[in-house]
Amino acid sequence: MSTLIEPTALTNPVERVLRNDRIPTIWCPGCGIGTTVNSFAYALMASGADLKKTAIVSGIGCSGRVSGYVQLDSFHTTHGRAIPFATGLKLANPELTVVVYSGDGDLTSIGGNHLIHAARRNMDLLVVCVNNMIYAMTGGQAAATTPGAATSTTTPYGSFEPELNIPQLVDAAGACYVARWTAFHVKQLEKSMTEALKKKGFRFIEVLSPCPTLYGRRNGYADGLAQMKEYKELAKVKNGAPTYEVAITTGKPIIVGKFVDRDRPDYLTLMRSQLGAHYHEIAEAGVGCGDDSEGKEGCCSC
């Protein structure tokens, strides 16, 4: 019998940004979500972000639990609505760095509309989408990202709808940073997250991640490791690939990399520059109330 290595006097560097009293996590053995959190933790530390002024917002799902394991201001909101909540945080306190961390179902199906419009507005948010190609938390039902060839509990005969190419969607909607990695690409993901944390505007990173319990087991993967090995085998780095070419097709290479990195003014920047020009007009017009009765009885025309 071999002996276990005992905990040493050292601490894992990621603990500096984790809520250690919440560990162990709820995640299954071999789930990739925690792996993506390592990359995120190192990226947070590397980006130089003021952690006291950084908020993390999640929707509902296994991936949505990330917000609760990171020692930031954590908001676990409702299913699909992390982005609008994050939008409110950012608008009301522009000093905050706001990260949305959630699942594929949460961000692209029930929350798909918010994703499109936050990208269009170029809201200053970093959105990390953990794509395990399934609705995991509810027990393995089909998601918009489930490959046609795969089965799920609600598509026992396979799915009859093509899967969503998420990078293409957010690119088309106007995101200024779009990347895809997998849980296997821990270093690239960290670098990408660091870079994205430092950038302004709507930034989106998709991370493919194994869900051995509810996707893998059903679809021929012995465990999370088997899915990780497949990522390693199938992934092809193609930075700058046109996003219409990066759809995930079963058995074909998984295109990863940084696809989009563009600059355009974010929502608040545009607002400030446009309001700047009009602000005095608004103020001088007596805020829309043409009341000239100066408090005396009578009607104003507002």
Ligand X SMILES: Cc1ncc(C[n+]2csc(CCOP(=O)(O)OP(=O)(O)O)c2C)c(N)n1
Q: Would you say 255 and 189 are in contact if contact means Cβ atoms under 8 Å apart? A: no
Long-range contacts of 24-27 (CB under 8 A, 24+ apart): 25/65, 25/69, 26/62, 26/65, 27/62, 27/65
- With binding defined as CB under 6 A, does residue 62 bind ligand SF4? yes
Candidate ranges 111-119, 205-213, 246-254, 291-299; the one touching ligand SF4 (CB under 6 A): 205-213
- With binding defined as CB under 8 A, does residue 27 bind another protein? yes
- With binding defined as CB under 6 A, does residue 224 bind ligand X? no
Q: Would you say 54 and 99 are in contact if contact means Cβ atoms under 8 Å apart? A: yes
Shortest approach of ligand X to residue 221 CB, angstroms? 16
Kindly state the tokens that stand for 174.
Answer: 């106007």
Q: Select the residue interacting with Mg ion from 39, 71, 122, 132 (CB under 5 A).
A: 132
Candidate ranges 162-170, 206-214, 241-249, 259-267; the one touching ligand SF4 (CB under 6 A): 206-214
- With binding defined as CB under 8 A, does residue 190 bind another protein? yes
Residue 106 binds which of another protein, Mg ion, ligand X, none (CB < 5-8 A, kind-dependent)? ligand X
Residue 213 binds which of Mg ion, ligand SF4, ligand X, none (CB < 5-8 A, kind-dependent)? ligand SF4
Task: Please give the size of the binding site for ligand SF4, defined by CB under 6 A.
Answer: 11
Shortest approach of ligand SF4 to residue 212 CB, angstroms? 5
Cα separation, 110 vs 137, whole angstroms: 14
Instruction: Outline where DSSP puts E strands in the chain.
Output: 54-58, 73-76, 97-103, 126-131, 177-182, 203-208, 235-237, 254-261
Q: Select the residue interacting with ligand X from 87, 106, 159, 167 (CB under 6 A).
A: 106
- With binding defined as CB under 6 A, does residue 138 bind ligand X? yes
Query: For residue 14, which amino acid is it?
Result: V
Within 13 Å, how many C-alpha atoms sit on residue 38's CB side?
Answer: 13
Within 13 Å, how many C-alpha atoms sit on residue 275's CB side?
Answer: 8
- With binding defined as CB under 6 A, does residue 213 bind ligand SF4? yes
Cα separation, 302 vs 291, whole angstroms: 7
Shortest approach of ligand SF4 to residue 65 CB, angstroms? 8
Site for ligand X in 41-70 (CB under 6 A): 60-63
Within 13 Å, how many C-alpha atoms sit on residue 65's CB side?
Answer: 15
3-state SS class at 64: helix
Task: Please give the size of the binding site for another protein, defined by CB under 8 A.
Answer: 102
Binding site for ligand SF4 (CB under 6 A): 27-28, 31, 33, 62, 132, 136, 211-214
Binding site for ligand X (CB under 6 A): 60-63, 79, 103-106, 130, 132, 134-138, 143
